Amino acid sequence: MRSSLRRSLALCTILFTAALAAPPSPASSRETVAMSVGRLLEEGHYTRQKLNEEVSKKFLQMYLEMLDFSHLFFTQEDVDAVTSKYGNAMAGDVLMGTLKPAYEIYALYAKRVDERVAKIKELLKQPIDFKSNATVELSRQKSPWPKDEAEADQLWRGRITNELLQEHLSEHPIEPAPQLVSRRYDRLARNVHEQDKDEQMKLYLDALAQAYDPHSEYLSKADMKNFSINMGLSLVGIGALLRSEDGYAKIDSLVPGGPAQLDGRLKVGDRITAVAQGQADYVDVREMRLDKVVEMIRGKKGTRVRLLVIPSDATDPSRRKNVELVRDEIKLKDQEARADIIIRKDENGEPVKLGWLTLPSFYADMDKHQKSTTRDVLALLKRLKKENIAGLVVDLRKNGGGSLEEALSLTGLFLKTGPIVQTKDYNGTLRISSDPDSGIAYSGPMVVLTSRQSASASEIFAAALQDYGRAVIVGDKNTFGKGTVQTILPIGRFASLLGSHSDEDGALKLTIQKFYRVAGGSTQLHGVASDIVLPSLSDLPEFGEGALKNALPYDEVTKAKYTKWSDSHSLFIDQLRRRSEERVKGDPEFHYVMEDMDRLRHKIDENRISLNEDFRKKETADDKLRKETRSKERLARNQEEPRIYRVTLDTVDKPNLQLIMYPGKLAEAKKNGVVPKVDSAAASDADSDLIDGGNADGGDSKEPLIDPERDEGLNILADLVQLSSGPKTASTNH
């Protein structure tokens, strides 16, 4: 895989050098960077799309939306004027080193912000009616720009009314709503004017890169520093990666093993509204620059930070959750693979041992001991086999990817020799990456549990096992759908060809390849479809690759030649699905999930929220009653728990393992009046302050005691074990 990347980079360098064989006279640093980024995109991106009129239009749209995400500051009159002036030539101007459009459009944006903030100040002095039957759009990202100033004024009246009502209804008020909102927009205006030309250029070139695809990006020197921190393992903080959206710092991903991921209350898509240090007062961070929000959240190891957050599944943005976390160094141990031995009764009441393998990421070379996912999993599998497990679940629900080499070698632990993934370059050259080892570490019944958060390397692993007929894929309808490869190219390396370069030039993250399954389809956009779908709050298309702008299309290549694991009936998919559907119908936890999914889907589709205080209070009261009712039902419910032993890399060779679950443990927690912690993807009330944010049973396990997907995954595996009998036959797929 690395060799193919090196070949692509080498070709990219040759093409770029050829394009600049007769460089113009040295330009200023910013102009040189712009020219370099433009040439690299033309000659190095997977699509090889020229910087023509088509790209110019996408480029302008991306830049306007990066500045005005919710289509509220610019009017359609502004957009038409800018399009008329620059719409067809912006991309070509970059190749000439011209950044004038970047600065002129930004100046117009700054002017519109100043004008709007002045109007907001006047609006906040007027009485606000919270008794009307008016509604306002929740998200305006896909809405048109207001046609003129009058329409913009009307939209802003609704928006400010909603912001005031949100703060008025909040259970965690920071200060009087009018003062808070006024201060928020003062900060927005100040932030806009603090952006210097380097920062404006960064935004501009970022928009150009993302006109090609959502994973290409211009990284400034500051971005590169943060990128290094995020990729390294010495970061002290909460382990959450943020992005800016509509004035909020939004949770983009959670670092495996970080305080936020281990705590379980923060979820991808949550929006941070305020930050507090220790027990100090909250500071509103809406409309604050993202780097400043990140700076407030980071801090010394052992110190506490409190976040006021709008949950990703909140139907009302006035709903907030208070999450207190202790900053810590991201620990390697928490990112490592681990396993559980689960002893439960089969349909005849006889004990059966099942294995559970949790894989937070595909890691490699993480420290001086040359860490390897494959080696670690191999050690765990040896112990699980020694314990005579009858079947295995591999949990990839929160695995966003990682090392591609590890994805290949790990897949090989469960297959005979054969191709694992196909990779295509811009010129259509197809390369096949195969299982590097002919040995099989585990050959028993197998289930792979996935979600919309399973991406990249996780999708390669799951797709290969599905195509080979080796494992049953269970979880959300599809995985994320990221089927592309990126590389980092330092701009200075190429800018030197234009006569000057600097370490300040930053870098370009560039999409250079696409992945394909051995069966020929791409994981791009489509992801990996589950054989058996389970209800989950994360199962929304808004959380996948298809929700990103300018995502590359799905396509197919020729099938690779591979030998399937066994005949097509050996996995009993239809029977397993029927049995699972019957259980899900009768499971109260899945009923909660489906109710919440319907409510959330309706809210997203409707995309409007009431500005009536009484109506919003009733919705809040209904939500609270629903949570309390569910809590009481959980406390009253009797269910038999399995006996679970934890296997870590530290204990894999020890005779005695840690007992983390046993019959009666959940009952003990209920007896003490503690509402058991529920997996965050299972029900929207899982992030309520009514539910213990750490540990429901007082022990040291921070994992949820109630996780219907986990339980049903085990049920499906138990069915597969029971159905798997008779000789296996091999068939060849051409």
Residue whose C-alpha is closest to residue 403's, from 362, 370, 343, 458: 362
Contact between 221 and 504 (Cβ < 8 Å):
yes
Q: Which of 78, 213, 316, 467 is catalytic?
A: 467
Specify the DSSP class assigned to residue 114: H
| Contacts with 167 (C-beta within 8 Å, 6 or more apart), sequence order | 173, 174, 177, 180, 181, 318
Contacts of 57 (CB under 8 A, 6+ apart): 83, 87, 88
CA–CA gap between residue 90 and residue 81 (Å, rounded): 14
CB 30 within 8 A of CB 203: no
* CA proximity to 604, closest of 69, 70, 139: 139
Catalytically annotated residue among 482, 509, 514, 665: 482
Q: Is 467 an active-site residue? A: yes
Catalytic residue, candidates 36, 456, 580, 610: 456
As a residue count, the chain comes to 734
Bridge partner residues of 647 (DSSP): 339
C-alpha closest to that of 555 among 512, 514, 521: 521
Instruction: Mention every residue, 6+ apart, whose C-beta is less than 8 A from residue 235.
Output: 229, 255, 298, 329, 330
CA distances from 250 to 240, 474, 531 (A): 10, 28, 32
Burial class (CB in 10 A: 0-12, 13-18, 19+), 25: exposed
CA angle 481, 486, 491 (to 5 degrees): 150
Closest CA to 480 of 544, 528, 541, 532: 544
Cα–Cα distances in Å, from 125 out to 76, 105, 121, 153, 160? 28, 31, 7, 15, 12
Tokens of 327: 């900053």
- Look up residue 117 and give its amino acid: V
Asked if residues 59 and 218 have their Cβ atoms less than 8 Å apart, the reply is no
Catalytic residue list contains 456: yes
Is residue 99 packed enough to be buried (19+ CB in 10 Å), middle (13-18) or exposed (0-12)? buried
What is the DSSP annotation of 319-349?
A: --EEEEEE-EEPPHHHHS-EEEEEEEE-TTS
Instruction: Determine the angle formed by the axes of helices 100-124 and 53-67, rounding to 10 degrees.
Output: 30
Catalogue the active-site residues: 456, 467, 482
